[in-house]
Structure formats: C-alpha cells, structure tokens
Structure 1
Amino acid sequence: MAPSQVQDISNTQLEAPEPEHCPGPESESAGKEDACQGCPNQNICASQLPQGPDPDMSLIHQRLSVIDHKILVLSGKGGVGKSTFTSMLAWAIAADEDIEVGAMDLDICGPSLPLMLGANGETVHQSNSGWSPVYVADNLGVISISFMLPDPDSAVIWRGAKKNGLIKQFLKDVTWGEHLDYLLVDTPPGTSDEHLSVTNYMKEAGIDGALIVTTPQEVSLLDVRKEIDFCRKANIRILGLVENMSGFVCPNCKGESFIFKPTTGGGRKLCEELGIPFLGSVPLDPRIAKACDSGECFFNDYADSPAATAILDVVDALRDNIEVNMKKLSI
C-alpha cells in the first residue's frame, strides 16, 4: 500500500507549516502551548478543538473488543533490545498453536518488527473489513508502517499529529479476525507522542499493562525510572521489568562476562526499590541477532541457548502475572 493511501490527517486549512515543537492541530493543547505563540495558525487550531467525544473511540473499542490481552512493550532508552525482545516474546507465545498473537509496530520512524519476524517486503492488504495484518505463522500476525513504504530505506518524516493519526488507524482499521489472545504493542523509546496516543486511544478498551525492557547499567536504568513514572501517571499497570543483555556465557570456555556491568544492582535492585515485579534476566547470545536478521524463530534453531530458557521463563512469569490480575478483577 502506498503512503498516499494512508489517511492524511494533516489540517489542510492551516495558513503555514506547523512550527517546531507544535503540539498538533488535533491536540487538546492546540493553540495554547508556548510553541503556538506567534504562529499564524494559532487561532485556527484553537477554534478547531473537538467539541465532543471522538467518534473514532467507539470504533477502536469495538475493534479491540476481540482481543483478550493487550500489552505495551516499553523502554526508556533505545538500544536495549526492546524490539528484539518483542519479536522473541511473540514467537514464544505463538509457539502454542492454540494461542492467536498479534504484534503492532508503533516505532513509526524506525520500524524493525517486520524484519525480525520474517515479513520484510510484505504489504498490507485492504478490504471492506479493514486492513489485514501480515501473517508470519498461522497464529502470528504483524502490522507496521514498514509495509506501507515505497522503499525500505524511505525515511518517515512526520510530525506528531500525523503519527497519531496512523496509530489511530492501526487501532480502528486493522482486523485481527474473530479473536486474538494477545496483542503486543512495540513502542519507540521514551515517553512521547506515540505513547500518549496509544494509551489514550486504548484506555476504553483496556490495557493489561506494560512490560518494561532495560539493560543492567545505570545509564539505562536512569531512563527506565522515567518510563515507570510515566506508567504510574498514565495509570498503566506495570506487569514487570526484564533485564536484557544480562551477562554473556562464552560458548567455548563457558566463562561468564558482564558486558553491561550492573554498577547499581541492575534491574532486580531497581524493582526492589520501586516495588514492581522483576520477571527475569536474559543473557546475551549472538545467535539472537542472527535469527532476527534472517527473520527466523530463535527458539526453533537454538532451543538449548540459556537465553531461550530465560525468555521462556519471562513469558511464563508474564502470563502468570496477567492471569493473577484477571482473577482479582473478576472477584
């Protein structure tokens, strides 16, 4: 699907291009932010704020009602292996052929899930029922802006308002079939437009919680603390934290090294301090990168890897956490 077929949510009535740090003409703060002062569009944006509930919210709620569990995968910093872990998580859950899994790539400027899941170069198909995700297995589908780009090297140079519009389309137009057990939402690093949009659009349908990925060193934990604060302010339950790239076992000498040294105690210590679940540590394994680059399931070829065992343990802990919360809500 060409980018021209993606709904253009930009405001064609604006008198001038949106300035830097523009909150977007559809934002609740349109025309009110400091960046709006002196902008030729200020009065236009302020006068076009929605006067009632967003009619798309009911469509999103209806579309997501067929999904049992919706999980956000977050990280405070880029480079911690969040998208890699999301792909591993998708493969691991989908190993049970009775479970239907969907993966939504919301890293709009740097989509990588299609490559990691073996769907690079595919396209999204549109029908009367909506957009169909690309299926990499009978029970594992993925949706990404990567499927809509004319060239894999094309840069997505969009402001916040247009990103928000695509996220809304993913949520209200993608059809996952009659039933989906798990939807894994891979978000970009930080706490920006994409995070605010997806939590706002999905709040009525319900989000089971967030899985946070970090590496052991303090420079990563520093940003993870901000991600945890975001979840608490946005009233998103934290399902747990995973410490990725935690140690490396040499396949030849079996010696263990810590590439990213946990100088302040790592993810486990952080969880103890902040009172959130620690789901486990996943060691480095170069074969994970090899599997992701080739779009293959890591567990099929390297089931004996300590990383495979660790990831499967995380999946079990995550699902147990979700089930415990569901039981609490039903009481």
Structure 2
Amino acid sequence: MNIKIVVPKESTVFLDFYGVRGDENDNAYLKKNWTISFQGQKWTGRAVRIVKHLKKGTYTLTGSISEPQFSVIDAGYVDSGSSRFTSAKNKIKEGTGKWNYQTFKVKKKSHIQTVGRTFKYKSGIIKAGNNSHLSEAYKKSVPFYIQKKGKKGKYTAVTNKMSYTSKKINKHFALSPGTYRLKTKIPKGYVSQFMYVDTVYKNSYAVTKAKAKLLTQGKKKSNLFTDADKAKKTHYYKFKVSKNGKISMKLTTKNNSGRIKAAVYGKGMKTKKKTMEYSGTHYFNCKLKKGTYYIKVTKDTKKSTGLYSLTYSDKTESR
C-alpha cells in the first residue's frame, strides 16, 4: 500500500493509522499489526501515530497489514499561524497551556456540531483496543467556550463552559449569523484537532399556542434555539388524536450548553414534562382521548442553544 501525503506548507504533520475488520465498529479492531514506513523510519503496531515536521511538497508513505480490514487514516497538519476556522476542515493547534482562539463566521441560522480531541504530540505505537486511536488522548477535560463578536469588537461567551474528553468529542449548539471564536486551553505537550460542521435551518415555528404548528403522525419537525433567542422563548406545536388510545411523542435534542424543556398537555390529561440538559432522546407515552393536544419546547436559559426534533406515533416506545 502506497499513500501520497501532500503538505500544503511547511508544518508539523500528524498521521494516525488504525483498522477494523470490515466496518467502522469500534468493537472490531484488528488483532494483527500495521507496518508503516515513512521518511526512513518504521513502526509496527495495531494503531500507529506519526508526527513529523515537513517542508511543502508531496511525500510517499508505505504500509502493509495482513488481515482484511476497513482502514482508517486521520491526517492533518499543525497550523501555527492562522486563527481562522473553516467548516468541515480539520484544524490542529499545538498546546501552550494558555487560551487559544479560533474564529469562524456563521452566515445563516445554523446547527453547529464541533468535533474535538487532544492527544500526545509524538510519534509511536498507540495502545491497542477499543477506540485505540483515542487511547493516547489527554486524560483530563479540555475546557472551551463559544464567544460572539459584538458591535464594538468585544467577544462575549454565548455558551456555558464546556469540555472535550477522550470519550466525548462531539458537541452541539445553534448559532445566529455573526462572527464567533472557539476559546480553548490546550495543554503543553499535546495538540488539539478541531472541526465544525454547520447545517442551515429555515423551518418555521409558532410562539403562541393559538398559532401552534401541526404535527403529522410519523413526520419529524425540527428547529433550533440559537444564542440570539431570549431565555424562556417557547415554540408551540399541536397534534390531533382521532380516537381514544395510546400515543408516543419522541423528543430528540442535540445540545451541550444549557437546558431545553418540553411539556405535552391538553384537556383531560395530566401535563407531562421533561428537561433535556444534554443531547439525548425522551419518549412521552400518553393514553389520550380523541381531541387536540399540545407540546411546547422552551429554551430554558440565555446560554441554552441547540437542535430539537419531534415525532409522534400511535405506538408507545421507550428508551
């Protein structure tokens, strides 16, 4: 196996190699070793990390493995200069133990998912096992905030303090148009790899019960609470039950800053409530009479941001 490595400018490049048997399931890691050769050095192990300082140019890496596999290769370079963050592109920064800032722009109301991990800044064999490519990760949490640039150029936090760990690397929030920065503190001797993906949402919503949006059985409705929305802002929905029986309302949230609250209510039923502080799924299982019922979803605090989705059916579910 020969792989060409293109280095766009002189920089420190990192390459991670690991494999699984046939798919990307973490429980199916290879039992046999890679053999990787690059720049006059050779490594043999179930997972290998290479960190090299290289000049601009194209390089060739050779590798072999003796078992059928789905090969996973993470690649990137440490960017010591630019502080700009671009959607869907890896950004890798070297740790100094001080606060680091990466700016990015949001053009339209969007759901933002960030992926971050912090790992040792050296070549070598990574400890084998589940999540082997993360086993050399920084064991403590790495703190970070999302800050927004104000009219006078000052940045202020629009999320609560969050953190990356070796196991929890995906974070979700929702942002309005503007200029932002990711503020994080990377420890010395490590590098942090970050990426964000933005998804624009244009879905309509109602802010009063009288204008509640109709939910149709089996069809999902999704929306966002962004940093620009005030605390306690509420979106209203309604659904119609055609005959007496049981229904299940599924609420899914993707949020890592603040809380999102929801309540299902209507004539003749006891109101059911749920607070979602982190990403997850909850089912409201109700026994209802024929009629119209409502669900309201509320941004609980100023720094609550995130995505929510609603679906209902006449089959009760649980998780």
- Normalised to the residue count of structure 1, the TM-score between the two structures is 0.26
* Larger relative strand fraction: 2
Structure (1 or 2) with the greater helix fraction: 1
Q: TM-score, normalised by structure 2?
A: 0.27
Question: Which structure has the higher relative contact order (CA within 8 Å, separation 6+)?
Answer: 1
